[in-house]
């Protein structure tokens, strides 16, 4: 009789929106077995996830964009052939991934290897560095993570080299034209020296033209050489830790334990609420 009265009082408090500390303690005392059981089941599920999920190793590297020489005083170290955002956008297109890259990353057995690889490769700009990106790839072994990272780096390197090919060819054509003008200016200057008209207007014009084209030629030669010397490069060697990055054992175990306990708590609350409703209906 006393216990029924306590239940009725507890139910009345819950209906009125008031739950005392004594009610909470009483609820936990009656429901701890259910909560503990589901917490244990959640822990078992997390263990199963850790056991059956293959290990994943992460290869990380930092890649500097290819550059060309410039004469801008604000950027004496050169200009990147493309910005990191443009490269990241291009690497999201599956058709850019060649067969040798797919094989190096062991994606050849997937349903759509190029599409899967384009989604799994992670490229992000490096904060504070305008001409570099960070590359991260996941693989089932450290060796595969390293070979995949290197293959993707070589792919980016060749893609950026292709961007400069047309530009370099145009510079070479202009270089041939400048060489012809330099030769003509030299002949005119030599002729003026022989005739003793070194201070003539034609001589001075030819001299200025020779100086201009020699300077321009030096810039173009420096630009062509910079394409070879400032190609895409690794800021530091590719790093692959020996410990897998996934599955995260401690995180998985804690998540399974908390999720199971929370589910058990919800079930216990639902059962308690149903019992209170049944008791109230019987009391009426």
pLDDT value at residue 140: 92
pTM for this model (two decimals):
0.67
Other CB atoms closer than 10 Å to residue 192's CB: what's the count?
Answer: 18
- How many Cα atoms sit within 13 Å of 69 on the Cβ side? 15
Whether a cis peptide bond, with omega within 30° of 0, leads into 247 is yes
With 0-12 CB in 10 A as exposed, 13-18 as middle and 19+ as buried, what is 167?
Answer: middle
Tokens of 13: 């408090």
Tokens of 170: 């145009």
Instruction: Give ∠ CA 70-71-73 in degrees, rounded to 5.
Output: 115
User: Do the Cβ atoms of 138 and 245 come closer than 8 Å?
Assistant: yes
Nearest-angstrom CA–CA distance, 56 and 248: 10
DSSP character at residue 197: -
Nearest-angstrom CA–CA distance, 171 and 182: 16
Q: Would you put residue 78 in left (φ > 0), alpha (ψ -120 to 50) or beta?
A: left
DSSP one-letter string for 120-132? H-EEEEPTT-TTE
User: Do the Cβ atoms of 133 and 87 come closer than 8 Å?
Assistant: yes
Helix (H, G, I), strand (E, B) or coil at 198: coil
- Per-residue tens of pLDDT for the chain, all 284 residues: 445 545 554 545 444 444 567 767 777 777 888 888 988 999 999 899 888 888 889 999 999 988 876 554 444 456 788 889 999 999 999 999 999 999 999 999 998 999 999 999 999 999 888 889 999 999 999 999 999 999 999 999 999 888 877 667 777 777 777 778 777 777 777 777 666 655 566 667 767 777 777 777 776 676 666 666 677 899 989 999 999 888 888 888 999 999 998 998 888 888 877 877 776 666 55
Instruction: Give ∠ CA 80-81-87 in degrees, rounded to 5.
Output: 95
Nearest-angstrom CA–CA distance, 239 and 190: 61
Q: Which residue has 């990106």 as its token pair? A: 133
């Amino acid at each position: 009789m006393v216990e029924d009265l306590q239940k009725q009082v507890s139910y009345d408090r819950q209906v009125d929106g008031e739950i005392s500390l004594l009610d909470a303690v009483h609820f936990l005392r009656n429901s701890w077995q259910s909560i503990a059981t589901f917490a244990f089941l959640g822990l078992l599920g997390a263990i199963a996830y850790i056991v059956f999920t293959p290990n994943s190793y992460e290869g990380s590297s930092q890649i500097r964009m290819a550059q060309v020489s410039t004469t801008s005083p604000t950027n004496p170290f050169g200009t990147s052939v493309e910005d990191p955002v443009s490269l990241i956008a291009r690497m999201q297109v599956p058709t850019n991934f060649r067969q040798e890259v797919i094989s190096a990353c062991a994606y050849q057995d997937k349903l759509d290897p190029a599409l899967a690889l384009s989604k799994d490769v992670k490229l992000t700009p490096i904060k504070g560095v305008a001409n570099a990106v960070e590359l991260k790839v996941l693989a089932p072994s450290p060796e595969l993570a390293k070979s995949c990272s290197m293959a993707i780096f070589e792919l980016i390197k060749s893609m950026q080299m292709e961007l400069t090919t047309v530009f370099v060819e145009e510079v070479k054509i202009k270089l041939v034209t400048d060489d012809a003008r330099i030769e003509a200016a030299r002949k005119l200057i030599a002729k003026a020296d022989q005739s003793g008209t070194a201070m003539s207007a034609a001589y001075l014009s030819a001299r200025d033209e020779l100086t201009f084209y020699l300077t321009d030629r030096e810039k173009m030669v420096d630009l062509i050489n910079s394409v070879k010397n400032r190609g895409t490069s690794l800021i530091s060697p590719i790093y692959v830790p020996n410990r897998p990055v996934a599955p995260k054992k401690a995180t998985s175990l804690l998540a399974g334990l908390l999720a199971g306990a929370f589910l058990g708590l919800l079930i216990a609350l639902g059962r308690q609420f149903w019992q209170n409703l049944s008791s109230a209906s019987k009391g009426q």
